[in-house]
Structure 1
Amino acid sequence: MSDPFSTVMRRRRTARLVWVALGALGVLVACIAAAAWAAGDAASPRATATAPTQRPIPVDGTSCAANVGSMSEFTPLAELNLPERANWLGRTPPYTFDRSRIAAAGAFDRVGYCLELRGPGGVQWVWSAMEPFTRDAGQLGLPTREGQIVRQRVDDLEVASNVAGLQTGTGLSGYLEMWPNSYGPDSSGQIAGASAGTFDADDDVLPALRYGSFQVHLVGSDRPSTSAPQTVFAINGYTSTGGPLSVGIGSAPRGNSDWTFAGNAGSWTERRLTVYARSALLDVDRHPEDRQLYPRDAANGATVTVAGKVRDSRVKEIRLQVTSDQDRWEDRAQVTTGGEFSFERRITAALRDYRFELRAVGEGLDRRVGLWEGVVAGDVYIIQGQSNAVSAPHQGSSAGEESPFIRSYGSSTPDPGISAADRSWHYGVSEAIRQPGSVGQWGIRMAHQIVDTYRVPVAIFNGADNGRSIWFFQRNDADPGDLETNYGRLRQRLIGADVIGQVRGVFWYQGESDDNNVSAHLTGFSALLADWRREIGREVAGGSRYYVFQVRTSPCGDSSKTQLREAQRRLGDTSGVTVLSTTGLSGHQGCHFAWEQGYRELGDHTFAVVARDLYAGPSDGVLPPNPQSAAFADAARTELVIRLRADDVLTVDPGVGADFRIDGSTVTVTDVQYRDGGQLVLRLSGSADGATGVSYRGHSGAGPWIANATGAGLLAFDRLPIGGASR
């Protein structure tokens, strides 16, 4: 008895002979078949019926169709017989048939793939169906052109196969890796259990256009997850000029689990991929995205809209069910003239994942047509600047700070093409940089503190880039969304996430690369602040706040000098701007910080100030110590008193006097004491005749420090004038 794979191949060889013999009649048959597909979408005014001009569309006879009953509602869109070697970069693969042109944009609500491999042991097959990752049917096949990058989770994954060991079932969680690019083994951190040293379910797409990946993986549904990822199927190497294709079903038994560099196409005598889609019953124009965070409003929640129009006359009722671990609603709408429908549902800004399920119901019809999970309401923040805003791990792990209620959107990659392709919500991660969801170490700590303390989800958009001057971050006023610019990439992410103008706080940590050029730094920051206020985070009552980190004394740039740091300290006098300290952190490693006594504590200091400003949190001992004035305490000028802007109690470590300089005098500071009322008393080595000011430089590395109750260190300052005698 013949297997379906062999039978359909014989049928298709016969069909090709008939095509040659029947000529014009074959064209008619093809047009009729194309019209039959269009009839399935008759409700769509956008559907077209452009028939293939070379071959009739064959009857589906895949091994998947012969074994998987749930495929009955799917229609094959394209078929590709995979050769042993291929280089389809920039070209459309030679599909046996391709009906993607006659599937209108948005005219399908589910997609599927059948991969069949014939070898000495018979036929291996796998069926995989999922929610659409694109609304363009032309993007469902192998990606071969620049910008065709899909790297995201998909929910409600179905897997069926005859390959032993591959998990099968419905309602599974998946991850897609589809691109024409080369890629590396580094993990983005989105997939628990993925390796940073081997190729698997979470690899790093690179700008170079070569090799190619078309992979579907099974991943854990929870975060964090203990489930190891598993490859469903993989087709690799189809944009390469080198070796044979690498293909497989299930995880590879040896080497890279996703079959990268397996070069095994020659071990199969036949290799066939068939692409499917399920015709949509509705056009859903507005809906949440998986893992989306909606900015919360003054009523501590958000309104989520699900709206669209009916495509199929069989649909008589639309149902929307919204659930969380504490809530459950079901709304129904009868189809009226015009077929339009709209639901609005309020969700609460709390640690609740909301699930939206949309169903189309009619006589003999009850289909789930939309499913969006992990939807939350919460607060949005931006981190910008150079490497200490990136806050990559240098020593110590922050992975334990990650939470399912910390989100991000898009990728912080500087590559315009990769950035443009990533328009998905991700979980916030801190151990990877320039990846989907990258937040950074102190950013994840701050977000986690907000989540734990105030029980509200947080989204972090980190747009930082290492070693950049302030000019790198400026807006292209002629094209604000220019993806060649850092500002444009971040702006486009905010627009894609639908949060632009609703950002609660912007954190700016930059200046080392400005080499103490105070004028350039202030001019650049003023321009950025104006642009941010105008379009990214409007400064209204209860709205956005802006936070500037004063850079640290370090060998990076010329930040050992104090003029730029003094200018940053004075930025705190700008309305709506708060300056934050980076002294007091003993985990300083020169240019960057370790996790302990470094980025972890920096996240805590930042959280304390944000909590005060935006969450009505404690205010005592929160802001970094900041000088107000200086004056001699005695006529001999041997004791100097620095009055601080707040009277918070400070801790003064022995030996900290070495970080002070008496400007205009050769005397040194021999001792520093804290006095109630917010005063620092500096004892000098002699009479400070000729002294004009006092400076505090801080230092690189570990303590001693002057710090407040949260551990935030005294802000560096330069040439603070010395006034009359202190009383």
Structure 2
Amino acid sequence: FGKENPLKANEWVRTFGATAGDPEGARLNLWAPAEARSAGGKSEIGYWGMELGRMLVESEQMPVCLINGAVGGTRIDQHQRNVADPEDVRTIYGRLLWRVRAAGLTHGIRAILWHQGENDQGADGPTGGFGYETYEKYFVSLAGDWKRDYPNVQRYYAFQIWPKSCAMGVNGSDNRLRDVQRRLPRLFSNLTVIATLGVKPPGGCHFPAAGYAQFAGYLHPLMRQQLYGHARTASEFPGLQRAYFVSQRRDEVVLEFDQPMQWSDSLMNQFFLAGQSGLVQSGAVEGNRVILKLREPAAGTSITYLDSARWNPENLLIGVNGLAALTFCDVPIDEQ
């Protein structure tokens, strides 16, 4: 969103410390109104943090504190806790933990907001393997440490990143990483996954201001109902629950989602059976079921929606609520 500060500070949106990575700057002992961007990261929470704070203050009529611990261009293994020195200033986790403890908020943290994974799409991690192979393990470890250090945390909000975000990933490895992110709620009943591929205007790596504002717009209704007790609204992103063949002929596949869906014939080329495209002849919806009629009986037993090598951000599978479905990769197709 540019170098200049795009939003005026609000006295009811507060933060503590700075996002600086150097030992001196990282130990800034200061409560202050939050800024979208500032020199040295002082009181900085980013554009969508500011927008989210403003929305919550306006809707809930109460102050809010957001503390930004993000560091760009990092893998999930770099966010892990140093068991020997949890407040280690050399670590991303330690710098954030020190700020929360210094602010006296260890028991006041209610939610963790997690948008990360671009640098895990390839094979640059410490094991030499692909990021999707170890992402779940690292996330589970990280979530356990969050619960240990912030014992009253109630909700986790994790974004499924943009396809091939920042032009990273090899031979579909980014598709598999997004699928790991999609499946995280199966491990955490209090975790909600948010799709970024429906954000407009889009941003394959970084987003323009209006795009980041949409991040906040996606989070706000979810947090209102899950943290502030408001009535449930249709604000969750469609997630695939199951895929199965209609009959032993294997010429029709049902995709069962967790909410009612919409269909457009332009989507037929966005589905891949065992990596092969062009097999869907037609599609239809019945409530939360997307039904794909195949041109011929399927030889493969897995299905993918949206390959980052050939997709269009204007051609997305969406729910009746207008939100983009989470992408999925190599999901097994059950026999009926």
**Normalised by the shorter chain, which TM-score bucket?**
0.7 to 0.9
Please, what TM-score do these two structures have when normalized by structure 2? 0.86
Query: Does the 8 A contact of 1:622 with 1:709 survive in 2?
Result: no
Q: In structure 2, what is the equivalent of residue 410 of structure 1?
A: 17
Query: What pairs with 1:575-614 in structure 2 (closer than 5 Å)?
Result: 575=188, 576-596=190-210, 598-614=211-227
Q: Structure 1 counterpart of 2:154, which letter?
A: S
> What SS does structure 2 have at the residue aligned with 1:407?
strand
Q: In structure 2, what is the equivalent of residue 724 of structure 1?
A: 335
Distance, in Å, in 2 between the alignment partners of 1:704 and 1:433 is 40
Q: 1:546 aligns with which of 156, 169, 174?
A: 156
Distance, in Å, in 1 between the alignment partners of 2:234 and 2:4 is 27
The answer as to 2:333 corresponding to 1:714 is no
Distance, in Å, in 2 between the alignment partners of 1:697 and 1:394 is 31
Q: Structure 2 counterpart of 1:399, which letter?
A: L
Query: Does the 8 A contact of 2:254 with 2:292 survive in 1?
Result: yes
Distance, in Å, in 1 between the alignment partners of 2:84 and 2:132 is 27
Indicate how the Cα distance of structure 1 residues 426 and 701 shifts in structure 2: closer, same or farther if over 3 A, else same: farther
Query: What pairs with 1:193-232 in structure 2 (closer than 5 Å)?
Result: none
The alignment yields a C-alpha RMSD, in angstroms, of 2.7
Query: What pairs with 1:228-239 in structure 2 (closer than 5 Å)?
Result: none
> What SS does structure 1 have at the residue aligned with 2:193?
strand
Please, what TM-score do these two structures have when normalized by structure 1? 0.41
Distance, in Å, in 1 between the alignment partners of 2:237 and 2:112 is 18
Indicate how the Cα distance of structure 1 residues 579 and 589 shifts in structure 2: closer, same or farther if over 3 A, else same: closer
Q: In structure 2, what is the equivalent of residue 643 of structure 1?
A: 256
Deviation at 1:670, TM superposition (A): 5.0
Indicate how the Cα distance of structure 1 residues 702 and 666 shifts in structure 2: closer, same or farther if over 3 A, else same: closer
Distance, in Å, in 2 between the alignment partners of 1:411 and 1:701 is 38
Deviation at 1:458, TM superposition (A): 1.0
Deviation at 1:664, TM superposition (A): 6.2
> What SS does structure 2 have at the residue aligned with 1:572?
helix
Distance, in Å, in 2 between the alignment partners of 1:405 and 1:593 is 26
Distance, in Å, in 2 between the alignment partners of 1:409 and 1:545 is 21
Query: Does the 8 A contact of 1:665 with 1:690 survive in 2?
Result: no
Distance, in Å, in 1 between the alignment partners of 2:252 and 2:2 is 42
Summarize deviations over 1:420-469 as a string: whole Å, max 9, x none.
1x211121222448522211222222222211111121111001011001
Q: In structure 1, what is the equivalent of residue 7 of structure 2?
A: 399
The answer as to 2:123 corresponding to 1:510 is no
Deviation at 1:475, TM superposition (A): 1.5
> What SS does structure 2 have at the residue aligned with 1:607?
helix
Query: Does the 8 A contact of 2:200 with 2:214 survive in 1?
Result: no
The answer as to 2:303 corresponding to 1:694 is yes
Query: Does the 8 A contact of 2:37 with 2:47 survive in 1?
Result: yes
Q: Which has the higher contact order (CA 8 A, sep 6+)?
A: 2
Distance, in Å, in 1 between the alignment partners of 2:90 and 2:148 is 21
Distance, in Å, in 2 between the alignment partners of 1:395 and 1:674 is 46
The answer as to 2:192 corresponding to 1:567 is no
Q: In structure 1, what is the equivalent of residue 106 of structure 2?
A: 500
Query: Does the 8 A contact of 1:584 with 1:706 survive in 2?
Result: no
Q: In structure 2, what is the equivalent of residue 662 of structure 1?
A: 273
Query: What pairs with 1:423-572 in structure 2 (closer than 5 Å)?
Result: 423-432=29-38, 435-514=41-120, 515=122, 516-535=130-149, 537-539=150-152, 543-556=153-166, 557-558=168-169, 560=172, 561-572=174-185
Deviation at 1:484, TM superposition (A): 1.6
Q: In structure 1, what is the equivalent of residue 290 of structure 2?
A: 680
Indicate how the Cα distance of structure 1 residues 555 and 492 shifts in structure 2: closer, same or farther if over 3 A, else same: closer
Deviation at 1:497, TM superposition (A): 0.9
Distance, in Å, in 2 between the alignment partners of 1:511 and 1:459 is 25
Give unpaired runs (5+ residues) of structure 2: 123-129
The answer as to 2:221 corresponding to 1:615 is no
Distance, in Å, in 1 between the alignment partners of 2:247 and 2:286 is 16
Q: Structure 2 counterpart of 1:601, which letter?
A: Q
Query: Does the 8 A contact of 2:275 with 2:304 survive in 1?
Result: no
Query: Does the 8 A contact of 2:176 with 2:329 survive in 1?
Result: yes
Query: Does the 8 A contact of 1:583 with 1:712 survive in 2?
Result: no
Query: What pairs with 1:295-310 in structure 2 (closer than 5 Å)?
Result: none
Deviation at 1:588, TM superposition (A): 2.1
Indicate how the Cα distance of structure 1 residues 634 and 667 shifts in structure 2: closer, same or farther if over 3 A, else same: farther
Deviation at 1:568, TM superposition (A): 1.4
Indicate how the Cα distance of structure 1 residues 426 and 621 shifts in structure 2: closer, same or farther if over 3 A, else same: same
Indicate how the Cα distance of structure 1 residues 534 and 631 shifts in structure 2: closer, same or farther if over 3 A, else same: same
> What SS does structure 1 have at the residue aligned with 2:272?
strand
Deviation at 1:491, TM superposition (A): 0.9
Indicate how the Cα distance of structure 1 residues 519 and 689 shifts in structure 2: closer, same or farther if over 3 A, else same: closer
Identity %: 26
Q: Structure 2 counterpart of 1:607, which letter?
A: H
Deviation at 1:625, TM superposition (A): 0.3
Q: Which runs of at least 4 in structure 1 moved beyond 6 Å after TM superposition? A: none
Distance, in Å, in 1 between the alignment partners of 2:64 and 2:201 is 27
Deviation at 1:666, TM superposition (A): 5.2
Indicate how the Cα distance of structure 1 residues 710 and 398 shifts in structure 2: closer, same or farther if over 3 A, else same: farther
Deviation at 1:595, TM superposition (A): 2.5
Indicate how the Cα distance of structure 1 residues 419 and 555 shifts in structure 2: closer, same or farther if over 3 A, else same: closer
Query: What pairs with 1:347-386 in structure 2 (closer than 5 Å)?
Result: none
Summarize deviations over 1:384-412 as a string: whole Å, max 9, x none.
xxxxxxxxx26998526x53211111101
Distance, in Å, in 2 between the alignment partners of 1:708 and 1:398 is 33
Give unpaired runs (5+ residues) of structure 1: 1-392
Query: Does the 8 A contact of 1:517 with 1:564 survive in 2?
Result: yes
Deviation at 1:498, TM superposition (A): 0.7
Query: Does the 8 A contact of 2:221 with 2:233 survive in 1?
Result: no
Deviation at 1:490, TM superposition (A): 0.7
Structure with larger Rg: 1
Distance, in Å, in 2 between the alignment partners of 1:467 and 1:639 is 42
Distance, in Å, in 1 between the alignment partners of 2:54 and 2:289 is 34
> What SS does structure 2 have at the residue aligned with 1:723?
coil
Q: Structure 2 counterpart of 1:519, which letter?
A: E
Deviation at 1:672, TM superposition (A): 4.2
> What SS does structure 2 have at the residue aligned with 1:623?
coil
Distance, in Å, in 2 between the alignment partners of 1:433 and 1:505 is 27
Equivalences, count? 322
> What SS does structure 1 have at the residue aligned with 2:253?
strand
Distance, in Å, in 2 between the alignment partners of 1:656 and 1:627 is 16
Summarize deviations over 1:498-557 as a string: whole Å, max 9, x none.
10132000011111112242233222222211111101x214xxx421222112212533
Indicate how the Cα distance of structure 1 residues 701 and 482 shifts in structure 2: closer, same or farther if over 3 A, else same: farther
Summarize deviations over 1:40-60 as a string: whole Å, max 9, x none.
xxxxxxxxxxxxxxxxxxxxx
